[in-house]
């Protein structure tokens, strides 16, 4: 399972520079509003030292990481819903992503023009949120019209849905995000097919000056990155990048921070498999049980699941091999109700 993250923001906040750094894919990052007309998509391997260490232990021929897809969305401006800038061309692309990064400009550079003429991250966030809310209202209005017809037809589903639609309309018109309005799981299911933008998990990422970057998380709970530093890291080898981060007094890159936060807000975990042929990371939703996790590897594995042999990755590494881990009794036998944990190394046993 891979997942996708859309990068949104006003023009000239560093979206294309960050995207280029994250994916090492060449995109037009000119100092010009709306240079990103069509979305750029790049698939990035999720950094995972656990897989690297397991591959070394198992002498694996291949090391396969789970992936994240980054989608660089064309720059938003105030009143995009009324056709300003590129209008709502971004919508069809952003509706498909699992989470949204709000990239907000805090860096100072007189040569890079801010579309509003001033650097104000709080104002930028408000502009982006409002455009997403307006887009959701347009989607909602269409559904309300349809639901009224269904109500006149006396459809049971329409009666059940109407209070949630009205609650959503009131909240969106008051400037609230859908995820702040709809918190009940049953209501979320009722409106799931609307594919609302403001119900998606969101990560606020401040693009700050490179001399102000640190590993400290802000009190306001947003991530801080420097797109310039990320661009420099992208041109270095893994060893050189690690040394450069150390020189800057950083423990991890902006990419690492973003991916960790994405896993957190999307409630994802990774389980691992290892052997001579390959060592691999597999991503599943938190709470996934062993048979369904096996099904991620192959659909027949879920259907024919018998049991799972499970050990924590660090315990396996400490033992040095699966044989040694079995001798020490550290490999557990788990059944159909076992809930996968992050860092589990698993061998699934299936019937025919």
Phi, psi angles (nearest 5°) of residue 86: -95, 10
284 is in an annotated binding site: no
Phi, psi angles (nearest 5°) of residue 272: -130, 150
CA distance 57 to 279: 10
Helix (H) and strand (E) counts in the chain: 14, 12
**What's the first-to-final CA gap in the chain, in angstroms?**
25
CA distance 11 to 85: 10
14 is in an annotated binding site: yes
* Structure tokens given for 85: 């800038």
Report CA Rg, the chain. 23
Asked if residue 196 lies in contact with residue 170, where contact means CB atoms within 8 angstroms, the answer is no
- For 177, which DSSP code? -
Phi, psi angles (nearest 5°) of residue 344: -65, 135
12 is in an annotated binding site: yes
Q: Hunting for tokens 């969305």 — which residue is that? A: 73
Locate the DSSP E strands across 81-238.
99-105, 202-207, 223-225
16 is in an annotated binding site: yes
195 is in an annotated binding site: no
Asked if residue 33 lies in contact with residue 75, where contact means CB atoms within 8 angstroms, the answer is yes
Residue 271: strand, helix, or coil:
strand
Q: 115 to each of 16, 111, 132, 141, 296, how far by Cα in Å?
A: 15, 12, 18, 30, 44
305-312 and 332-334: which strand pairing? Answer: antiparallel
Asked if residue 68 lies in contact with residue 270, where contact means CB atoms within 8 angstroms, the answer is no
Q: Which residue numbers belong to the known binding site?
A: 12-17
Q: Which residue numbers belong to the known binding site for ATP?
A: 12-17
């Amino acid at each position: 399972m891979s997942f996708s993250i859309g990068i949104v923001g006003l023009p000239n906040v560093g979206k294309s520079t960050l995207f280029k750094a994250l994916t090492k894919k060449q995109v037009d990052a000119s100092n010009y509003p709306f240079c990103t007309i069509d979305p750029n998509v790049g698939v990035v391997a999720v950094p995972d030292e656990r897989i690297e260490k397991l591959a070394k232990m198992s002498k694996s021929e291949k090391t396969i990481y789970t992936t994240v897809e980054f989608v660089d969305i064309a720059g938003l401006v105030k009143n995009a819903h009324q056709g300003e800038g590129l209008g709502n061309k971004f919508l069809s692309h952003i509706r498909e992503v699992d989470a949204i990064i709000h990239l907000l400009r805090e860096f100072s550079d007189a040569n890079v023009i801010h579309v509003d003429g001033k650097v104000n991250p709080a104002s930028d966030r408000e502009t982006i949120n409002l455009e997403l809310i307006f887009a959701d209202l347009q989607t909602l209005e269409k559904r309300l019209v349809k639901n009224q017809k269904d109500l006149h037809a006396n459809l049971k589903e329409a009666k059940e849905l109407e209070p949630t639609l009205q609650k959503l309309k009131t909240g969106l018109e008051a400037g609230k995000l859908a995820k702040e309005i709809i918190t009940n799981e049953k209501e979320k299911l009722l409106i799931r097919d609307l594919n609302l933008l403001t119900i998606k998990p969101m990560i606020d990422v401040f693009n700050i000056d490179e001399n102000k970057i640190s590993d400290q998380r802000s009190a306001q709970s947003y991530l801080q990155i420097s797109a310039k530093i990320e661009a420099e890291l992208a041109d270095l080898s893994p060893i050189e990048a690690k040394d450069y981060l150390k020189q800057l007094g950083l423990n991890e890159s902006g990419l690492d921070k973003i991916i960790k936060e994405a896993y957190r807000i999307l409630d994802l975990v990774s389980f691992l498999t290892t052997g001579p042929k390959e060592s691999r990371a597999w991503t599943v939703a938190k709470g996934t049980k062993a048979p369904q996790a096996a099904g991620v590897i192959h659909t027949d594995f879920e259907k024919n699941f018998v049991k799972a042999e499970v050990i924590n990755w660090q315990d396996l590494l400490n033992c040095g091999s699966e044989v040694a881990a079995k001798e020490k009794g550290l490999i557990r036998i788990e059944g159909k109700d076992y809930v996968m944990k992050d860092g589990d190394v698993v061998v699934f046993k299936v019937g025919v």
